[in-house]
């Protein structure tokens, strides 16, 4: 393992050498591609029968999604209760349910696919938030894979790039 080392593998261009990011040396980061079926009951959906969905397990801290941006808390927004919103709950609906005592609490929503696209020992922080991956941060091979996955699952599936922090 190369935790805390500024090296990476996979199809993500982590901004390891970008001086605008502080390397916090917390452990590292990884990027997953989630494919979500947006229209389960549509006849053009990818799924024909049961068994075509998978679940991922939350094992690290989710710091971002390229598709869902949480509201930003500022000193002037005293009416906004930051505890009312959880980005993680969008993908892991039971994560904050303390009544669930087993590992099912950490299961994702149903997915068509979950793929690790890249990982690094680097952990980047800038202007009050951690770095998060977007499509433009993928390598050429990463973009080709992303585009192929979009073609495979069709117009009724959305692709989400999730960034996680290994602490």
* DSSP at 73: P
Mean pLDDT along residues 118-136:
95
Q: Is residue 146 part of a domain?
A: yes
pLDDT given for residue 74 in this prediction: 52
Q: Is residue 45 part of a domain?
A: yes
Q: Is residue 38 part of a domain?
A: yes
Q: Is residue 100 part of a domain?
A: no
Q: Is residue 32 part of a domain?
A: yes
Q: Is residue 65 part of a domain?
A: yes
Number of structural domains the chain divides into? 1
Residue whose entry in the numeric block shows the structure tokens 């500022």: 74
Tell if the pTM clears 0.75, that is, is over it: yes
pLDDT given for residue 5 in this prediction: 74
**Do 80 and 73 meet the contact criterion of CB atoms below 8 Å apart?**
yes
Residue whose entry in the numeric block shows the structure tokens 């990884």: 30
- pLDDT tens across 76-103, in order? 544 434 333 578 999 999 999 999 999 9
pLDDT given for residue 84 in this prediction: 34
Q: Is residue 97 part of a domain?
A: no
> The domain containing residue 120 runs over which residues?
8-71+110-166
């Amino acid at each position: 393992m190369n935790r805390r080392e500024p090296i990476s593998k996979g199809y993500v261009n982590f901004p390891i050498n970008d001086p605008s990011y502080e390397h916090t040396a917390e452990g590292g980061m990884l990027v997953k591609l989630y494919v979500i079926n947006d229209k389960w009951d549509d006849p053009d959906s990818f799924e024909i029968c049961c068994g075509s969905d998978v679940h991922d397990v939350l094992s690290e801290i989710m710091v971002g999604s390229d598709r869902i941006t949480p509201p930003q808390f500022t000193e002037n927004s005293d009416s906004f209760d930051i505890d009312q919103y959880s980005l993680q709950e969008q993908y892991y609906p039971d994560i904050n349910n303390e009544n669930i005592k087993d590992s099912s609490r950490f299961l994702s929503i149903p997915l068509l696919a979950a793929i690790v696209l890249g990982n690094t020992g680097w952990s980047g922080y800038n202007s009050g938030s951690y770095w998060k991956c977007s499509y433009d941060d993928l390598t050429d091979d990463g973009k080709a894979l992303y585009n192929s996955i979009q073609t495979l699952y069709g117009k009724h599936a959305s692709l989400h790039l999730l960034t996680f922090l290994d602490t």
